[in-house]
């Protein structure tokens, strides 16, 4: 199946596909691709992970905050301002999940798979947040696989790998760039190493390595999982992307 031009549709549809692809990737890893002591889960990953966060914590109950007794109801009396805007693309970026691979001995994070979303490439703030998260993981020894199947935007002309590599090398090392789409697997060694595959809209995907240690990796079936997630989209949106 060729890589589709996701710039043709709205961010919410890609978010639905993103969610499905993450789930398919986690299933594929858990169905025999990972060694017995490893497992994969769809999780939300934020920058600034500390040592305690990298280890799986038990969920805690959060008390529900009651509605204020005073104030003005938004639906009944919207604020009288000139305009009201919705940060739709950035909101979807914040909701996006990653595939997180952990070791069952202590449930620490070993590797992470990230799919770049439209919100990540909507402007410099989105790029900076994604790059900061990637750099934080790599510097903590977490191996990373970044799947960037979105064309460049007016505001962001490089692939996410180029942005990450420039940050890793402090801008001194030219980023390997073919483009416009990029699959990049990072080995979190000293120094880090990147394994790259350049793609364009219409190209098929290939299997990419996801490292579990400095010496061992598994091949992730991107084509198979992409196709499964795409087929789960409503027929209308599949048709829009096929045109």
The domain locations on the chain are: 6-47+87-242
145 - beta bridge partners?
Answer: 113, 185
Q: What is the pTM of this model?
A: 0.80
Task: Write out the two tokens for 94.
Answer: 């914040």
pLDDT digits 0-9 by tens, 196-241: 888 999 999 999 999 999 889 999 999 999 999 999 999 999 999 9
Assess contact for 78 and 72: CB atoms under 8 A: no
pLDDT over 80 at 113, yes or no:
yes
Helices (H), the chain: 11-28, 88-95, 124-139, 160-168, 222-231, 235-242
Distances (CA, A) of 99 to 90, 115, 178, 180, 211: 20, 9, 26, 24, 13
Which DSSP category does 119 fall into?
A: G
Distances (CA, A) of 121 to 13, 86, 154: 16, 17, 9
Percent of the chain having pLDDT more than 90?
40
Assess contact for 12 and 88: CB atoms under 8 A: yes
pLDDT over 80 at 92, yes or no:
no
Helix pair angle (235-242, 222-231), 10° resolution: 120
Computed from CA positions of residues 33, 39, 44, 46, in that sequence, does the dihedral angle turn out positive or negative?
A: negative
Pairing of strands 143-148, 109-115: parallel
pLDDT over 70 at 95, yes or no:
no
**Average pLDDT of the residues in 44-53:** 53
């Amino acid at each position: 199946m060729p890589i589709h031009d996701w710039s043709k549709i709205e961010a919410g549809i890609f978010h639905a596909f993103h969610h499905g692809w993450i789930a398919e990737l986690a299933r594929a890893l858990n169905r025999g691709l990972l060694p017995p002591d490893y497992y994969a889960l769809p999780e939300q990953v934020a920058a600034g992970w500390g040592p305690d966060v990298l280890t799986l914590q038990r969920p805690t109950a959060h008390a529900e905050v009651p509605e204020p007794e005073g104030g003005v109801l938004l639906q009944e009396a919207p604020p009288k301002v000139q305009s009201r805007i919705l940060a739709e693309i950035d909101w979807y970026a914040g909701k996006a999940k990653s595939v997180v691979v952990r070791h069952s001995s202590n449930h620490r994070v070993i590797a992470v798979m990230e799919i770049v979303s439209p919100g990540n490439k909507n402007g410099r703030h989105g790029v900076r947040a994604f790059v900061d998260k990637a750099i934080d993981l790599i510097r903590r020894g977490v191996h990373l696989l970044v799947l960037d199947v979105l064309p460049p935007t007016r505001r962001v002309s490089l692939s996410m790998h180029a942005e990450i590599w420039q940050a890793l090398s402090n801008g001194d090392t030219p980023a390997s760039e073919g483009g416009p789409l990029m699959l990049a697997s990072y080995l979190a060694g000293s120094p880090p190493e990147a394994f790259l595959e350049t793609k364009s809209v219409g190209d098929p995907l290939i299997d990419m390595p996801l490292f579990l240690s400095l010496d061992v990796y598994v091949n992730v079936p991107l084509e198979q999982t992409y196709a499964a997630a795409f087929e789960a989209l409503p027929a209308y949106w599949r048709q829009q992307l096929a045109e």
